[in-house]
Structure 1
Amino acid sequence: MAPLSSNEPGVSERLRAILPALPEVQRGIAELVLEDPAAASRLTIVELADACAVSTGSITRLCRALGLSGYSELRLGLASDSGRSYQDSLAATIGTDVSAEDDLAQIATVVSANVGHAVTESVTKLNLTDIDTAAGRLTSARRVQIFGTGGSGVMANDFQQRAYRIGVPCWTWSDTHLALSAAALLGNRDVLLAISHSGRTRDVYDVLTEAEDKGAFTIAVTDDAQSPIGSQARLVLTSSVGDLGYHTEAIAARHAQLVVLDVLYVAVAQRTQQQTRAAITATAAAVSGYKRPGRLR
């Protein structure tokens, strides 16, 4: 079945249009399907026949009445309709910001929609070849320095803690002077991972440039590949947030950065499975005494 444009009627809409003219058995099937098209799209033809107490042949005849080649096309059409309905409702929310008049339900809806959109867009647009290259550099590096400020600094700390735990020799700094000093000691066997949502944070740009000048391989995680930081780095992993409004953009940015870094972390762990398993076992054992159930003593 060819994909429908937003102006063409979906299978559900066509089914409603022919409903009054359908024979009784087929009308009963159509009514059940229209009660929950998304749920119906997940049923096999046998399961739908059992739910309607009809034969599979009756369902096949309904498909033909719709001009479809068979049940598979009906299921795809119903799933497509459900997805399109979800996207339409999501589009009404994405890109909006919260105001002082919004209640908590509206705030939760806006935040959820914007965060979900940012994560989905970031994963969809992520260049997996670049992720693979970045993972290779991190696993073979002598030293890895990770740097970001503000919210990006939180992401830098999170990634450093996880990567260090599986054996990647990496450090992060909260002080720009310390970060610059560390970058000055990097060489061509080292990696600098810079994180900046805007790609225009002066501190991060200066640290990345210092590492680049010393021959380190530089990687940037940013929402703007054409920004100064994106243009300066040898490899750019792009998150995708866009303009979501003053209140929610920073929230979505953290989640977008996190999903990019999560994919990178798993790619590194996959490349070093034996080392990762041994490291996680050892580090878990080291802190196990601090996770005993019961009251603190």
Structure 2
Amino acid sequence: MARESTLARDPTQNILDVIRTLRVELRKSDRKVADVVLAEPRQILTDTVADVARKALVSQPTVLRFCNAIGCSGYPDFKLRLAQSLALGTPATHSVLLDSDTADEVVEKIFDYTLTSLDWARHHLDKEQLSKAIELLADTQRIEFFGFGASGIVALDGAQKFPLFGVPCGAQTDAHQQIMVASMLKPGDVAVLISNTGMTLSLGDVARAAHENGAKVIGIVGAQEAPLLRYCDVSLVVETLENTSLYTPTISRIAALVVIDVLSTAVALRRNDDHQHRITQMKQRLNEMRFK
């Protein structure tokens, strides 16, 4: 069982390769689950634990035990690693960076991992929630973006796109300033909270302050179970294949920036002809500032 323990504990391993390698060492009932996964891995991405149990003719606890046996912390973790192996036809584990990598290999791996993760985020973004966010932003009088660290960069980018939104925008990355601004919001305003983990306590305070004053709150987070979402009117879960490895690029920030682009562009397209004309003028003035 030494091989099993080594493979199962290594999160960089392609999970399909792990299953193939460990299959003969699994319990008989666990092998039934393994066979279902290997037979239709893409279908498993949309299956629940109950679905897999039914297909494998086993109990739901057996499915969970199978996940643990192959080194996953649970069914969600198993599905994430499975997605990493299947996304864009290139196992995401190929993008694990090594000290021995050449510059060319670093380029290939980071681009591959980024493209894979963006594609995953795109297909898992709740379009209904996205539409609700666009409706709120298109009908607001003021937008304030809130975030810390890498999420603060996304907040600044959101405020930088204020010509497209057509309303006053701000970005707050300091905890004290965030509470001050959130406390001054009013009905008709929108607060956009950005946090990949969705676990930043002070952002919960910001959301509560905004709500108390009648403002709406949009949350942009990286996980469906993020605690911050309980304080949001609209939840945009931008799930990526983010890896906590030391050298992994910050995919979550890139994905959140893309979502900000989607929101700002969609809102701008809803504006009238006069607003579109002003955007055209703004672009022309920017062009005039460039070298000829």
TM-score interval for Structure 1 and Structure 2 normalised by the shorter chain? 0.5 to 0.7
What is the RMSD of the two structures over their aligned residues, measured on CA atoms?
A: 2.6
Distance 1:175 1:85, change over 3 A: closer
Matching residue of 1:28 = none
Q: In the TM superposition, what is the alpha-carbon distance from 1:137 to its structure 2 partner?
A: 0.8
Q: Deviations over 1:25-57 (max 9, x none)?
A: xxxxxxxxxxxxxxxxxxxxxxxxxxxxxxxxx
Q: In the TM superposition, what is the alpha-carbon distance from 1:240 to its structure 2 partner?
A: 1.3
Matching residue of 1:91 = 91
Mapped pair 1:143 → 2:142: yes
Q: Deviations over 1:158-213 (max 9, x none)?
A: 12111334412211123221221111011221100011111112333322222122
After the TM superposition, which parts of structure 1 deviate over 6 Å for at least 4 consecutive aligned residues? none
Amino acid at match of 2:91: A
Residues 242, 252 of structure 2: 8 Å contact kept = no
**Partner Cα distance (2:199, 2:269) in 1:** 32
Q: Deviations over 1:223-279 (max 9, x none)?
A: 113212122211111111144232455521112112222221221122115244123
Q: In the TM superposition, what is the alpha-carbon distance from 1:288 to its structure 2 partner?
A: 4.6
Q: In the TM superposition, what is the alpha-carbon distance from 1:107 to its structure 2 partner?
A: 2.0
Amino acid at match of 1:183: A
Mapped pair 1:180 → 2:179: yes
Distance 1:197 1:249, change over 3 A: farther
Q: Which has the higher contact order (CA 8 A, sep 6+)?
A: 1
Matching residue of 1:269 = 268
Alignment TM-score, normalising by the size of structure 1: 0.64
Matching residue of 1:168 = 167
1:188-199 correspondence to structure 2 within 5 Å: 188-199=187-198
Gap regions ≥5 residues in structure 1: 9-83
Gap regions ≥5 residues in structure 2: 1-36, 41-84
Amino acid at match of 1:99: L
Distance 1:285 1:102, change over 3 A: closer
Residues 144, 170 of structure 1: 8 Å contact kept = yes
- Name the larger-Rg structure: 1
Amino acid at match of 1:146: F
Q: Deviations over 1:67-106 (max 9, x none)?
A: xxxxxxxxxxxxxxxxx99844x11536x53232222233
Matching residue of 2:207 = 208
Distance 1:213 1:226, change over 3 A: farther
Distance 1:282 1:118, change over 3 A: same
Residues 117, 251 of structure 2: 8 Å contact kept = yes
Amino acid at match of 2:278: A
**Partner Cα distance (1:260, 1:249) in 2:** 21
**Partner Cα distance (1:230, 1:151) in 2:** 19
Matching residue of 2:53 = none
Residues 146, 193 of structure 1: 8 Å contact kept = yes
Residues 137, 191 of structure 1: 8 Å contact kept = yes
Residues 164, 267 of structure 2: 8 Å contact kept = no
Mapped pair 1:283 → 2:285: no
Matching residue of 2:70 = none
1:77-88 correspondence to structure 2 within 5 Å: 87-88=88-89
Q: Deviations over 1:89-148 (max 9, x none)?
A: x11536x53232222233223212221122111111112222121111112112111111
Q: Percent identity?
A: 25
Distance 1:85 1:134, change over 3 A: closer
1:236-275 correspondence to structure 2 within 5 Å: 236-247=235-246, 249=248, 251-275=250-274
